[in-house]
Structure 1
């Protein structure tokens, strides 16, 4: 009888819950984000929803991995301002990366939020330094210092240090802040010539504080204080002496100076033929050109580290013939092709290649792989200052979208970048 009735119908399974984006864990999302082509693409993806943004913000390890896999993102370069009101900017145009184009288009590289000079002076704003996406400028006509981020359009204005502290006509300024919180920062002013001076403006006190100049070892007798512009790396600012084989280093935590010796052949090397930087894993590194003539010159790479005896020194890492960087189709027998170093960022060296008197190109060299990449072809003009996109504060700090606020002489905006 049971066989006539057959078996009971199988019980119906409950419907499977649909998979949503929230079901993907942060670790898997980060692995997917590592496949994106550039930092502007990551910004666009992270700002698509709160889940994506949380995954990027909550992982410092992801930020380190992304930087290791992607070269520093150059967005263009600031030209030598000459007598113009603000330094002109030449953007990088990339049809293959629409997110990069969007970042450039949404940024304020015209520096429109920088105050105009109300006087008749044509000195305008002078470029000082670059750090963390900020451009530091000085206006000697109005005695103002500005730190401006063209991507976030965050602007900070500072008064010039008192003349009894800094009286040189060419002091140097650097902005210092933590990557985790760019709302707390300091501005450092260093005077090398005449009487050496060090002053720091802090957002906590809103005034300049003078620090004693303590240089260890002591300053050499008979040494004229003439240094090339400083380089900011890993909590230090380094200045190469123009005629001596050493680098002056300022620890930005202790505000103490020290000296780092260089190989003797680098004593009188020109500014455009020497750069300090760091490798991809953060080691202090230097690159120097022994001769800018591409026919006979060599690019030398040395890393600061301990030898087999535990003695720290500059150890030879690699060498590259300058002819490697020359486009033979552009080289001419009438003019010598020359090579200059424009920047050294996170294991990438940026070289200006000059063909004759007018034609110039900008290329990048990855020190780890030796790979070359042409960035600007026949449009680069030296001297210039390449501008690199830093990690946006919106992808680090867990803050709601900020509103612009004005406090005293400071205008702050930690909003997201244009992309």
Structure 2
């Protein structure tokens, strides 16, 4: 007759015999990276080298994608730590019917090379899908989207060549489209990156001596243009003659605003794309004195509004000047001189016999980087970038030969934003 061992006896026997073989040789519980919490995953992802690397990681695992999409704070932090990835330049030239894409000379990073190879940066869909091989003009940019217009066929296209997303937009109503002074800008919703508006702006009618603006807005939701009434734009601070007609340089869109600088006066008009209201922007004293200064609005790396201008295009005596809009010690916001650079800093002496032959032009200012084009007489043109934070200068492209050049950067993809489609 067998007696059942008590629990105390069993414990004693186990201690005497040692740990059973199976218990000794069981593998430890496995912990995979997908088992980590979203906060810890985001801390790891912040250490990735670039946005292109983050995209590859996000598309490799649904858990990773959800962690990235669900955290706006992570997105803001990642964008601060990693400047936008420059893929190359779109160049508008009289020799091509569509803007030409020029990749960077050192485009050898695997992630960057893959992004360029898998996209349509040659814009072949414009002729394949729309069936038109006529000339397309590059009107404006918003993130990865290009806005192109065809005056002959009266067509407007919003195209993302990285995702091959193309939207053909009808021409505005006849009451505004008769004018040749039209500008088109694309505006995306912060909540849903799949929805955008197209804003068409006409600055004045020829029969009016003073500027009124005509705004029409196209929605991808309704597929219709909304025509708004004529509005008077804020006048410049200086008195105007009765026959003085204001003209503006092309608009500079950035972070919810579009800025226009007047060609003949020291005046800037800003358009709030959310409220659809106009306001006037004061200018730094030097720009007010020299209204003809070429200048561009932009943002610093930490998001502050800045203005970069060259007081003279000649490299021998000109200076590149940087102002930042910030509050002074009394809390009053105004333009503050941030930095200056001699234009000779950007000129390659081997490409020009004298500095007088070289001309420096500010193309655009994006997230703390100033993009410059250097023209050497009738010879080759170079495109450079200047980091406002470190003053580091990089020669990006030679022999551009362009009338207009715009840097094309890898923007934050809509697939990494938590919108209605992502949540579903």
- The aligned counterpart of 1:189 is 200
In structure 2, how many angstroms separate the alpha carbons of the residues matched to 1:356 and 1:82?
18
What's the offset of the Cα at 1:7? 6.6
What's the offset of the Cα at 1:32? 2.8
- The aligned counterpart of 1:155 is 166
What's the offset of the Cα at 1:148? 0.5
Q: Is the 8 A contact 2:316 2:355 kept in 1?
A: no
What's the offset of the Cα at 1:164? 1.5
- The aligned counterpart of 1:417 is none
Query: In the TM superposition, what are the counterparts of 1:386-401 in structure 2 within 5 Å?
Result: 386-397=407-418
Structure 1 SS opposite 2:115: helix
Q: Does 1:206 align with 2:223?
A: yes
Q: 1:257 to 1:15 in 2, by over 3 A?
A: same
Q: How many residues align?
A: 394
- The aligned counterpart of 1:8 is 16
What's the offset of the Cα at 1:33? 2.4
Could you list the runs of 5+ residues in structure 1 that have no partner in the other structure? 402-419
Q: Is the 8 A contact 2:91 2:102 kept in 1?
A: yes
TM-score by length of 2: 0.84
Structure 2 SS opposite 1:164: helix
Q: Is the 8 A contact 2:93 2:403 kept in 1?
A: no
User: Superposition RMSD on alpha carbons, in Å?
Assistant: 2.7
What's the offset of the Cα at 1:99? 0.7
Which one has the largest radius of gyration?
A: 2
Among 229, 236, 244, the residue aligned to 2:250: 229
Q: Is the 8 A contact 1:339 1:353 kept in 2?
A: yes
Q: Is the 8 A contact 1:341 1:349 kept in 2?
A: yes
In structure 2, how many angstroms separate the alpha carbons of the residues matched to 1:382 and 1:333?
22
Structure 2 SS opposite 1:245: coil
Could you list the runs of 5+ residues in structure 2 that have no partner in the other structure? 1-12, 207-212
In structure 2, how many angstroms separate the alpha carbons of the residues matched to 1:385 and 1:270?
22
Point out the more displaced range, 376-385 or 343-352.
376-385
Choose between structure 1 and 2 for higher RCO, CA contacts under 8 A separated by at least 6 residues.
1
Q: Is the 8 A contact 1:199 1:209 kept in 2?
A: yes
In structure 2, how many angstroms separate the alpha carbons of the residues matched to 1:231 and 1:373?
24
TM-score by length of 1: 0.85
Point out the more displaced range, 210-219 or 312-321.
210-219
Q: Does 1:110 align with 2:127?
A: no
- The aligned counterpart of 1:289 is 310
Query: In the TM superposition, what are the counterparts of 1:16-415 in structure 2 within 5 Å?
Result: 16-82=28-94, 84-114=96-126, 124-194=135-205, 196-215=213-232, 217-218=234-235, 221-222=240-241, 223-266=244-287, 273-333=294-354, 336-379=357-400, 381-397=402-418
Point out the more displaced range, 235-244 or 15-24.
15-24
Structure 2 SS opposite 1:145: strand
What's the offset of the Cα at 1:279? 1.1
In structure 2, how many angstroms separate the alpha carbons of the residues matched to 1:361 and 1:398?
40
Structure 1 SS opposite 2:56: helix
In structure 1, how many angstroms separate the alpha carbons of the residues matched to 2:155 and 2:400?
32
What's the offset of the Cα at 1:217? 3.4
Q: 1:186 to 1:299 in 2, by over 3 A?
A: same
Q: Which has the higher helix share?
A: 2
What's the offset of the Cα at 1:335? 5.7
In structure 1, how many angstroms separate the alpha carbons of the residues matched to 2:219 and 2:405?
30
Structure 2 SS opposite 1:324: helix
In structure 2, how many angstroms separate the alpha carbons of the residues matched to 1:316 and 1:6?
79
Q: Is the 8 A contact 1:240 1:248 kept in 2?
A: yes
In structure 2, how many angstroms separate the alpha carbons of the residues matched to 1:381 and 1:270?
22
Q: Is the 8 A contact 2:105 2:396 kept in 1?
A: no
What do residues 339-383 of structure 1 show as CA deviations (whole Å, max 9, x unaligned)? 211110011111122344323222211111222222224446442
In structure 2, how many angstroms separate the alpha carbons of the residues matched to 1:79 and 1:102?
21
Q: Is the 8 A contact 2:297 2:308 kept in 1?
A: yes
Q: 1:399 to 1:17 in 2, by over 3 A?
A: farther
Q: 1:228 to 1:95 in 2, by over 3 A?
A: closer
